[in-house]
């Protein structure tokens, strides 16, 4: 009555497999993608608030718009870039890319795009300060509130 159902070799493999430490990771990491999106959105809202505040200060008191490279603007902008890296990197894993490749491509894409957008924003702020920026009518935004 004491017959073994599995062979001793299979039993040993099962013991190793069941005794291995477990860890949680979704494959592909959908949770990491969602966290990255949340970080990027929250930092984007913070960054937009900082830029809006700086434009209002310039409009009322003629405080300088530049340089943009202050902690209050660089930190949320960096959060946007890092959240985008997490979002894109985890999303690429859903299409079968490896973790290293997907996060490298995401970093390359997010940093290059972020640097270009930062440069454009600085150019727009410089135009606003010099008075050569005529495409935006700031009074239009006040009447819509």
Q: For residue range 57-76, what is the model confidence (pLDDT) as tens digits?
A: 888 887 777 888 888 899 99
Cα–Cα distance, 88 to 24 (Å, whole number): 21
Q: Which segments of the chain are extended strands (E)?
A: none
86-116 confidence digits (pLDDT tens): 999 999 988 888 888 999 999 999 999 999 9
Would you place residue 8 in the very low, low, confident or very high pLDDT band (cuts 50, 70, 90)? confident
Task: Assess contact for 90 and 36: CB atoms under 8 A.
Answer: yes
90 class by beta-carbon count within 10 Å (0-12 exposed, 13-18 middle, 19+ buried) = buried
pTM (predicted TM-score): 0.71
Tell me what pLDDT residue 98 has. Answer: 86
Q: How confident is the model at residue 138 (pLDDT cuts 50, 70, 90)?
A: low
Q: Of 105, 111, 68, whose CA–CA distance to 88 is shortest?
A: 105
């Amino acid at each position: 009555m004491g017959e073994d159902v599995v062979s001793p070799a299979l039993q040993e493999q099962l013991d190793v497999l069941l005794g291995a430490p477990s860890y949680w990771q979704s494959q592909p990491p959908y949770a990491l993608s969602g966290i990255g999106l949340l970080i990027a959105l929250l930092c984007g809202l913070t960054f937009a608030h900082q830029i809006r505040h700086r434009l209002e200060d310039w409009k009322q008191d003629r405080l300088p718009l530049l340089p943009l490279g202050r902690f209050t603007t660089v930190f949320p902008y960096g959060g946007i870039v890092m959240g985008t890296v997490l979002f894109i990197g985890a999303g690429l894993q859903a299409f079968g890319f490896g973790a290293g490749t997907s996060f490298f491509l995401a970093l390359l894409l997010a940093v290059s795009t972020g640097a270009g957008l930062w440069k454009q924003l600085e150019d727009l702020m410089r135009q606003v300060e010099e008075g050569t920026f005529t495409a935006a009518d700031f009074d239009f935004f006040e009447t819509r509130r």
